[in-house]
Every structure is written in C-alpha cells, then in structure tokens.
Amino acid sequence: MTAHVSVRDEGFLLTALLSKQRTAFLSDGPPSAAARRADLLKLKQALVKHRTAFEAAVSRDFGYRSAYETRIMEVSPVIQTINYLRRNLTKWMRPERRRVAIHFHPGRNRVVYQPLGVIGIISPWNYPISLALTPLATAIAAGNRAILKPSELTPRTSELLKSVLSELFPAEQVAVVTGGPEIGAAFSRLPFDHLLFTGSTNVGRSVMKEAAENLVPVTLELGGKSPVLIGTDADIEAAATSVAFGKLANAGQTCIAPDYVLVPEKDAAAFVASFDAIARKFYPQGAADRNYTSIVNAKHHDRMLKLIDDAKRKGAKVIEVVAGAGEAAHKLAPVLVLNVTDDMTIMQQEIFGPALPVMTYRNFDDAIGYINRKPRPLALYYFGQNSEDRQKVLTHTTSGNVTVNDTLMHYVQNDIPFGGIGMSGMGAYHGHEGFKSLSHAKGVFEQSKWNLGWLLHPPFNRMTDLVIRYFQRW
C-alpha cells in the first residue's frame, strides 16, 4: 500500500532538496570551465543516446507528434545550444577589465561573473524537451545547480527527463521534481537564487507573485499574440509559406507561433489561396497526415473549438484549409479565420493552435498602429523588401524579438538574446545574455598601495576643498 504524500510534505521535501543543493554549492565552490564543459557534453550525449525514447514519449503525451518534428523543433536546437555554450564558455568566464577614472589611478576595476547558486526552472508542455534542457544547459554553463519542474501535462516526457538526468547528475547538482499545479505553486515559493519560468501569462503572474515573497529574481518567458505584418511589396507566396510553417508546426502550439496576419487588402485573396495551397502541400492528408501534430489534450482541443465557434457566431468566415480527422482523438485541421473583429475571443486570447485570423489593411501606418494598441508580443514577423517600411516596423513597434521575411527563426539564433517584454515576459536566457542572466556580475575595485584617497580623509581642511572642487569640475 502506497502512503499518501501531502502537498505540505512535498513542500518540506522541496525545501530539503534546495538546502541540499545550496549546501553543496557553498561547499564545492564555483565549478571550473572544464567541469562545466564536461557536464554540458554529458547532457548532449545523453540526449543523443535517448533521442528515440524522447521522441516516443512526446508523441504519446501529445496523442501524436512526428519524430521528425521533435528532432527539428526540440532535439536539434538543444544540441546546437550546448555546442554554442561549450564553444564560448571560457571566454565568457574571463573577468572583464573596466575603465578607472584618472583620479582613482593606479587602482584597477574588473567585473567577475560568478554563479548565482541554485536555479529553479519551470518548463511547459508544448516543447517539453527543449524548454526544459535549454535553460538547464544555460544554468550549468553559468556554474549553477538546478532543480527542474517539468509540466504535468506531458507526464511520460517528464518522467523520462527525471530518469535520464538522475543518471547523469547527483541530486545535489541537478534534480527533477514532478507533480501538478499544487507542486508548481510550492516550487515557485522556494527561495531560489533565480527562477526561470516558461508558460502562459496567467500562470506567470502567479509564479512572479510567489517568487516575490522571497525576493527571488525571475526570468519569465510567456507568450501573447505574435503578429505577422505583410508589407505592400512582399512576395505573397513566400510569406504564406513561412507563415504556414510557423503556424502549423506543432499544430500551432508554440509560444512564438504567428497568431494573426495583417495583409494589404489587395493581397488578401492571394494570401489565403497561397496559404491553402502550401498547407495542402505540407500535409496532403490534412489532420490525418503523419507529419501533423495532435492538440495536447481534450481540454485544449475543446478550447480551440470554442474559439472558432465564437468567431463564427460573431460573423467570421472560417475556412478549413485541409480536412480530415486523424487517428489521434485531438487532431484539429488548420483553419483560416476571416472578417475577424476585436470582440471575438480569438482576437483577445493567445490562440496556441492551428487557427489563423487574417486581417486586412489599406494604410501601412494603420497596421502598425493596430499592433501597438495590443499588449507587446513575444515575437513579431515582417515580410517585405522596402527598407524604409522595414525600419519603420523595427523602430515603431516593441516586441520580444523580430524575424524579417521568415517565422520562428530568431529563436534558434544562439548569439542573440530571446525574451519577452511587458505582458510577454521579462529577462532573456539565450546567447551571452543567458549566461549573464544566470550569473552575478560582481564589480571589483582594487586599490593601489599608493593612492590619493587619503586626501578625502578627515580632518577636513583647505586641501579637502581643493580636491572636491577638482572632482566636481572633472
């Protein structure tokens, strides 16, 4: 008979685990560059070794997802990230020399990057491998210990992560805890040295509120309604191809998926026709196609149907792009939603599924104004060749990241930061910025034996006045 473990008991266990990691961190001190590189290599090799098991676990958790999609969207980006971290780690760990004002010469300034300690990571269900292991790899690169809380909505993948990581690392270095929302809330209340959360805006609010009790700094990777703005001179077929890929990968269950499209009125029919043709080319069997992913569960499938039905009732025209219901119970055929209005729920919530609202505009500045009236998105996509229009989009809109003439691709650029702003999140954990986010930049000033600091010591006199006047003039 298995004894019931209460949430309170789980809270004690979590606290003990955090204490264990922090004690080990303080005892062992910061790991060397060689040790970090070795740990990153172990992580990479384990992912490669267990790749097929991860692919199978994700597919079962979703009801169905193509192994190719998991390799392309999850496994490959993590491997590339680890390679990038290992390649740059030694350079990033070097102290940075900083300028010293002439009146403080011959003192020396430098910034030393040291590990924060223990990092908490809460990862979501939509990309349960990459959104768990990418921040973990970044935490390891920065020399930290880490505790990972993966999503309960992908239980097989979460258990596999727990099994694989427990074989690679001792619990005092890397640990995985599983459980539902109650465990997630208890996890968020722990006094980590930094907490990194990827997920919805609503849950992000709760995580930030819980973390604030212990003044834990947070990185929040959230989401929002990422717009696509198609310029007046865009190649419509090329734009439709990129949008179809970005929207239908993982059946739209991507935090940076194109959420809605703004297209010139004159090009709307061409865009719809091109999107339809490209979607049929990508998925000839429609929702039944072996390369097309299921909606993760019945709750999210029903949510998508309600969004579409609400739009229909309020006057939208819904076009089912490719028909067919797959063997998996929660597959949903892609749809285009035309004639949308802001009172429709589909234009108020992040869609997170294979429905794409298409809006038209006559004036380019009006399209930019529409984007700016909405909460700042995690991603923005612009298609067009006119350099002035492109620059206007880049300077007059604010979003987490931008991809020009494509979709999603900014996420896999390892040398630029990735993160939201406003309602789409805060902080970043890709690129050099990720290393810095999970490190403490400690400023160090070294005073020389011979210095002028004694001129400011009491007792104060006329010489003190001269020195102060000199400093103020300087």
pLDDT digits (tens, 9 = 90+) for 15-29: 999 999 999 999 999
In this prediction, residue 324 carries a pLDDT of 60
In this prediction, residue 1 carries a pLDDT of 36
Bridge partner residues of 337 (DSSP): 318, 357
Q: How confident is the model at residue 11 (pLDDT cuts 50, 70, 90)?
A: confident
Q: Is residue 149 within 8 Å of residue 120, measured between CB atoms?
A: yes
Please give the share of the chain, as a percent, with pLDDT higher than 70.
Answer: 97
- Range with lowest mean pLDDT among 124-133, 409-418, 460-469: 460-469
- pLDDT, tens digit, 9 for 90 and up, residues 283-320: 999 899 999 999 999 999 999 999 999 999 999 999 99
Cα 132 to chain centroid, rounded: 10
Q: How confident is the model at residue 107 (pLDDT cuts 50, 70, 90)?
A: confident
pLDDT at 2 over 50: no
Give the integer Cα–Cα distance in Å for 191 and 211: 7
Exposed / middle / buried, residue 223 (Cβ in 10 Å: 0-12, 13-18, 19+): buried
> Which segments of 118-191 does DSSP mark as H helices, in order?
130-141, 155-168, 181-188
Give the integer Cα–Cα distance in Å for 267 and 231: 10
255: annotated active-site residue? yes
Among 182, 255, 320, 446, the one annotated catalytic: 255
In this prediction, residue 325 carries a pLDDT of 57
Q: Is residue 325 within 8 Å of residue 331, measured between CB atoms?
A: yes
> Which segments of 29-125 does DSSP mark as H helices, in order?
33-49, 51-62, 67-70, 76-93
Residue with the larger pLDDT of the pair 3 and 105:
105
Q: How confident is the model at residue 220 (pLDDT cuts 50, 70, 90)?
A: very high
Q: How confident is the model at residue 119 (pLDDT cuts 50, 70, 90)?
A: very high
Only one residue has tokens 């997802």, namely 65
What mean pLDDT is reported for the chain?
A: 94
Instruction: List the structure tokens of 313.
Output: 């009732």
In this prediction, residue 381 carries a pLDDT of 98
Please give the share of the chain, as a percent, with pLDDT higher than 90.
Answer: 85
Residue with the larger pLDDT of the pair 474 and 450:
450
In this prediction, residue 327 carries a pLDDT of 56
Give the integer Cα–Cα distance in Å for 331 and 440: 45
Mean pLDDT across the stretch 253-279? 97
The single-letter DSSP state of residue 247 is H
Exposed / middle / buried, residue 148 (Cβ in 10 Å: 0-12, 13-18, 19+): buried
Residue with the larger pLDDT of the pair 459 and 8:
459
- Range with lowest mean pLDDT among 73-87, 110-124, 289-303, 450-464: 450-464
- pLDDT, tens digit, 9 for 90 and up, residues 321-357: 876 655 567 899 999 999 999 999 999 999 999 999 9
Q: How confident is the model at residue 454 (pLDDT cuts 50, 70, 90)?
A: confident
Q: How confident is the model at residue 474 (pLDDT cuts 50, 70, 90)?
A: low
Q: Full-prediction pTM beyond 0.75?
A: yes
What residue type is assigned to position 266 of the chain?
Answer: K
Mean pLDDT across the stretch 358-367? 97
* DSSP-derived pairing of the beta strands 118-122 and 145-149: parallel
HSE of 212, CA atoms in CB hemisphere, 13 A: 6
- pLDDT, tens digit, 9 for 90 and up, residues 385-428: 999 999 999 999 999 999 999 999 999 999 999 999 999 999 99
In this prediction, residue 455 carries a pLDDT of 74
Q: Is residue 321 within 8 Å of residue 333, measured between CB atoms?
A: yes
pLDDT at 363 over 50: yes
In this prediction, residue 352 carries a pLDDT of 96
The single-letter DSSP state of residue 72 is I
Among 210, 221, 237, 446, the one annotated catalytic: 221
pLDDT at 367 over 90: yes
In this prediction, residue 316 carries a pLDDT of 97
What is the spatial order of strands in the sheet that 108-115 belongs to? 96-98, 108-115, 439-446
Q: Is residue 318 within 8 Å of residue 312, measured between CB atoms?
A: yes
Q: Is residue 385 within 8 Å of residue 186, measured between CB atoms?
A: no
Q: Is residue 146 within 8 Å of residue 140, measured between CB atoms?
A: yes
Give the integer Cα–Cα distance in Å for 282 and 94: 47
In this prediction, residue 343 carries a pLDDT of 96
